[in-house]
């Protein structure tokens, strides 16, 4: 009888011990892990500027301020870029994306500040409405618009330049004697650039009047 009991105990003791359990992860400081959510993506139109003011096609660009948690950045967009984004998003999101943008009109110098202020409020309201939809961040067009993604190659981005009219060059940015390379819209200079492979077709020397 005792022999049977000892054999039974020995059989139980010979079984391999269970594998050790990993220690539980430490709790997050200040909050439960289930309460931690990604920060929302915020964007608003904060200001505007006139581009190519003295050139043949002056227009407004709007500064879109973006924020994701502690990260902040901005990007400049034209009104027609807002309109193009709306056309894309309203096919997938609907709802707030279908809301009307501010009316588009010809921007004259005398009323550019007024037009900019009126549009900024409407554009900002539309953009914030789009970002309030959970499916918005899955739209590549929106990510490109906000500067979070790019569909251009690195070479194309580096080659792109902000247009600057020669009349907009002032004394703090340059001085008399500086050489300026620039390009024009005429047909012959365009052919010249195509043949030479150059980005420019004219050269000039800056001469500022004496104070």
- Pairwise pLDDT comparison (199 vs 48), residue with the higher score: 48
Residue 177 has pLDDT above 70, yes or no: yes
Per-residue exposure over 85-120, b if at least 16 CB sit within 10 Å of its own CB, e if not = bbeebeeebeebbeeebbeeeebeeeebeebbeebb
Other residues' Cβ atoms within 10 Å of the Cβ of residue 133:
16
Distance, CA of 147 to CA of 131 (rounded, Å): 14
Looking from the CA of 158 toward its CB, the CA atoms found within 13 Å total 3
Of 201, 202, 199, give the one whose Cα is nearest residue 161: 199
- Report CA torsion sign: 201, 191, 156, 128: positive
Q: The whole model's pTM is what?
A: 0.55
Average pLDDT over residues 174-196: 79
pLDDT-wise least confident of 1-5, 10-14, 114-118, 171-175: 1-5
Give the containing element (helix H, strand E) for 180.
strand 179-182
Residue 142 is encoded by which pair of tokens? 């929106």
Interval 128-143: pLDDT, tens: 988 888 888 788 888 8
Is 85 in contact with 157 (CB distance < 8 Å)? no
């Amino acid at each position: 009888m005792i022999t049977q009991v000892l054999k039974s105990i020995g059989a139980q003791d010979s079984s391999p011990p269970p594998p050790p359990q990993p220690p539980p992860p430490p709790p997050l400081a200040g909050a439960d892990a289930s309460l931690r959510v990604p920060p929302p993506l915020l964007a608003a139109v904060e200001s505007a500027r006139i581009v190519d003011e003295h050139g043949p096609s002056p227009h407004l660009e709007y500064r879109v301020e973006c924020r994701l948690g502690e990260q902040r950045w901005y990007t400049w967009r034209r009104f027609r870029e807002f309109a193009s984004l709306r056309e894309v998003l309203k096919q997938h999101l609907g709802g707030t994306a279908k809301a009307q943008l501010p009316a588009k009109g010809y921007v004259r110098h005398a009323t550019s500040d007024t037009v900019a202020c009126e549009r900024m409020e409407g554009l900002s309201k539309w953009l914030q409405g789009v970002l309030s939809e959970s499916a918005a961040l899955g739209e590549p067009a929106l990510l490109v618009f906000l500067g979070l993604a790019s569909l251009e190659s690195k070479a194309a981005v580096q080659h792109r330049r902000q247009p600057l009219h020669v009349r907009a060059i002032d004394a703090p940015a340059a001085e008399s004697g500086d050489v300026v390379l620039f390009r024009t819209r005429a047909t012959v200079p365009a052919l010249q650039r195509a043949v030479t492979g150059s980005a420019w077709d004219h050269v000039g020397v800056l001469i500022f009047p004496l104070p």
